[in-house]
Amino acid sequence: QKEVEQDPGPLSVPEGAIVSLNCTYSNSAFQYFMWYRQYSRKGPELLMYTYSSGNKEDGRFTAQVDKSSKYISLFIRDSQPSDSATYLCAMGDSGGYQKVTFGIGTKLQVIP
């Protein structure tokens, strides 16, 4: 079993839809939870960063972390064609190496 599981999609939604992207994980040591966005032929860029459980909102984006269920989500409201990209979840611990583990990424297409 992988430490981080993420459905690769692809996920196609109409413009304006609410998008829900999710990851599950198995390592209880993870305390830092990130979402990266990767456009085609580009490097991943940090989108959201959350420490421990709870919600964090930034504009149209909301990140949720439920450590009891080992489940994290990214919600995109009023999705736009410019949101079409691959979204990677990532998780880190606070150990000596502070390893970051990435999900495989979910490819999202927002159709105008």
Partner 1 sequence: DADVTQTPRNRITKTGKRIMLECSQTKGHDRMYWYRQDPGLGLRLIYYSFDVKDINKGEISDGYSVSRQAQAKFSLSLESAIPNQTALYFCATSDLRGPGANVLTFGAGSRLTVL
Footprint of partner 1 on this chain (CB under 8 A)?
Answer: 8, 32, 34, 41-46, 49, 51, 88, 90, 92, 98, 100, 102-105
Separation in Å, CA 106 to CA 8, 44, 58, 92? 4, 13, 20, 19
Two structure tokens written together for 35: 């979402």
Q: Reduced to 3 states, what is the DSSP secondary structure of residue 69?
A: coil
Least Å distance between CB 2 and partner 1?
9
State which residue, 17 or 93, has the beta carbon closest to partner 1: 93
Return d(Cα 93, Cα 76) in angstroms, integer: 26
Provide the minimum distance between the beta carbon of 110 and partner 1 in the complex, in angstroms, as a whole number: 21
Give the nearer residue to partner 1 in terms of CB position, either 10 or 16: 10
Identify the residue whose tokens are 């159709």. 111
Please state the closest distance from residue 18 (CB atom) to partner 1, in A. 25
Question: Which residue's CB is nearer to partner 1, number 19 or number 90?
Answer: 90
